[in-house]
Amino acid sequence: MRLLEISIALNSTLDLDKILTYIIQTAAEVLECEAVSILLYDPVKSDLFFAASSASDPIQLSEIPVPLKKSLAGKIFLENTPLILNNVEKDPRHFAVAAQHVNFHTHSMLGVPMRIQNQGVGVLEALNKRKGVFTSADEKILSIIASQAAVAIRNARQMKELELAYDTTLEGWSNILDLRDEETEGHTIRVAKLTIQLANELGISGEELTHIHHGALLHDIGKMAIPDRVLLKPGPLTKDEWEIMRQHPVFAYNFLLPITYLRPAIDIPYCHHEKLDGKGYPRGLKGSEIPFSARVFAVVDVWDALTSNRPYRTAWSKEQTLDYIREKAGTHFDPRVVEAFLDIDH
């Protein structure tokens, strides 16, 4: 039953960090050992590296390459065979560099390969059995966990690669828009970075932060549907032209809604021109009716616009712009967001 729970848990997320943390915590609990380490294979460097460990700081360990031919983990990986050792430190194949670096003494070890069919993913190690020694029963349990872990890690990595491909595509779209409108060149990347900084200050993380990043990159995607005679007009817009320009959030909504992956990011492109007092557009939303992500982005968007040169005016100073943002807290901007914005570096 416990192994079934582990399988369900590993298949319930595609977050690699959560998967690695769950594996080491659960394996240590089930096998009653002091620590668990996950070493993954790096095909570029042809060695193993510590992806996660409860033995020490995983960031420290990750900097230590583990050679395939001069380590116990390498032997397990290359030979695709589990290994039980109850006197590790006396084995000549023991890779003592890592243990010395983090001051962890390994007395007993159970290591099993993580593979998917014929492809090696890495090695799962249980270290220092608390009572007695590692047994063949422990080996069977850890091997089952390792096989489930290998699939979960592969799926998470593939999702990460897919997300990277999406991000690259979105940045490409934003660059195309910036190239079309020379006045805003570089604007999209700048506001996306600053929005993430502000979102972190507000305690936003995980998937929500990813959606905010996507939304920031796509905030002006609706302008692709605005005619050049309006978007690129050098002088002031007429009333009719402003009506056309104010449709770009609606165009963005219609463009992004059919794309399932981007649907969670739609709030910023659709709502970042709404104002807290209801005098924004396109829907005249008020207060909490405006999605929080859009309220976060609105401050950054105005900041970047006012501190950038335009053909019709020179850039405002940082002090002048901050005064304006303070003044508009409660009418245009969410006061909580403004307070956080004033606390970050600009």
Amino acid letter for position 159: M
181-343 placed in CATH 2.60.120.1440: no
Determine the Cα–Cα distance for residues 341 and 198; give it in Å rounded to an integer: 6
Kindly report the three-state secondary structure assignment for every residue of 133-156: CCCHHHHHHHHHHHHHHHHHHHHH
Q: For the chain, what are the domain ranges?
A: 2-158, 181-343
Model confidence pTM above 0.75: no
Determine the Cα–Cα distance for residues 151 and 313; give it in Å rounded to an integer: 56
**CB-based contacts of 15: which residues, under 8 Å, 6+ apart?**
156, 206
Contact 112, 123 (CB under 8 A): yes
The closest alpha carbon to 125, from 92, 77, 189, 90, belongs to 77
Q: What is the dihedral of CA 324, 277, 297, 174, to 10 degrees?
A: -100
The closest alpha carbon to 123, from 87, 94, 80, belongs to 80
- Within 233-291, residue ranges assigned H as helices are 239-245, 248-256, 267-271
For 2-158, which CATH class?
alpha beta
Residue 203, Cβ density class (10 Å: 0-12 exposed, 13-18 middle, ≥19 buried):
exposed
Q: Per-residue confidence of the chain (346 residues) as pLDDT tens digits?
A: 576 777 777 777 778 888 999 999 999 999 999 989 999 999 989 999 999 888 766 666 777 888 898 899 999 999 999 999 988 777 777 776 766 666 677 888 999 999 998 889 999 999 999 988 999 999 999 999 999 999 999 988 887 777 777 778 877 777 777 666 655 567 888 999 999 999 999 999 988 999 999 999 999 999 989 998 888 887 788 999 999 999 999 999 999 998 888 899 999 999 999 999 999 999 999 999 999 999 999 999 999 999 987 766 788 999 999 999 999 999 999 999 999 999 998 7
Helix (H) or strand (E) holding 171: helix 136-180
